[in-house]
Amino acid sequence: MKKAIITVVGKDTVGILAKTCVFLAENGINILDISQTVVQGYFNMMMIVDMGGARRPFGDISEGLAKVGESLGLQAKCQKEEIFEKMHRI
């Protein structure tokens, strides 16, 4: 399993989760966990995904996702899980 963390941050709007999930499904990426909050109209979402079956290289997925985010006026990122694991777990 190749875990990655997807974050989508910005002003809340209709269809954020739907568009993100469609993009992931089209690229063969399996969602393992989702958590999200909306505070004062501000949307914060994190997904833990498995990139093991991804149909495109990591860099392409990351760029594609950023574009999906842009189309909604949001910032979307895809990062390998280790950067968070290393920083917050001993």
Partner 1 sequence: MINLSEVLETNKMIQDENLDVRTITMGVSLLDCADSNLEACCANIYAKLLSRAGRLVKTGEEISREFGIPIVNKRVSITPAAIVGSACCRRPEDYVEIARTLDRAARELGVNFLGGYSAVVSKGMTPSDELLIRSIPEALAVTERICSSVNVGSTKTGIDMDAVRLMGEIVKATAERTKDADSLGCAKLVVLCNAPDDNPFMAGAFHGVSEGDAVINVGVSGPGVVKYALSQIPGADFETLCETIKKTAFKITRVGQLVAQEASKRLGVPFGIIDLSLAPTPAVGDSVADILREIGLAEPGAPGTTAALALLNDQVKKGGVMASSYVGGLSGAFIPVSEDQGMIDAVEAGALTIEKLEAMTCVCSVGLDMIAIPGDTSAETIAGIIADEAAIGMVNQKTTAVRIIPVIGKGVGDSVEFGGLLGHAPIMPVNGFDCSRFVGRKGRIPAPIHSFKN
- Contacts with partner 1 by CB under 8 A lie at 5, 7, 9, 33, 35-37, 44, 46, 48, 58-59, 62, 77-89
Q: Which one, 26 or 85, has the nearer CB to partner 1?
A: 85
Q: Which one, 65 or 72, has the nearer CB to partner 1?
A: 65
Measure Cα distances from 79 to 18, 46, 66, 89 in Å. 20, 11, 11, 17
CB of 84 vs partner 1, minimal distance in Å: 5
CB of 35 vs partner 1, minimal distance in Å: 5
Q: Which one, 2 or 53, has the nearer CB to partner 1?
A: 2
* H helix or E strand, kind and range, residue 90: none
Cα 88 from chain centroid (whole Å): 19
CB of 55 vs partner 1, minimal distance in Å: 17
User: Are residues 76 and 8 in contact, defined by beta-carbon separation less than 8 angstroms?
Assistant: yes
Measure Cα distances from 67 to 39, 45, 80 in Å. 24, 16, 18
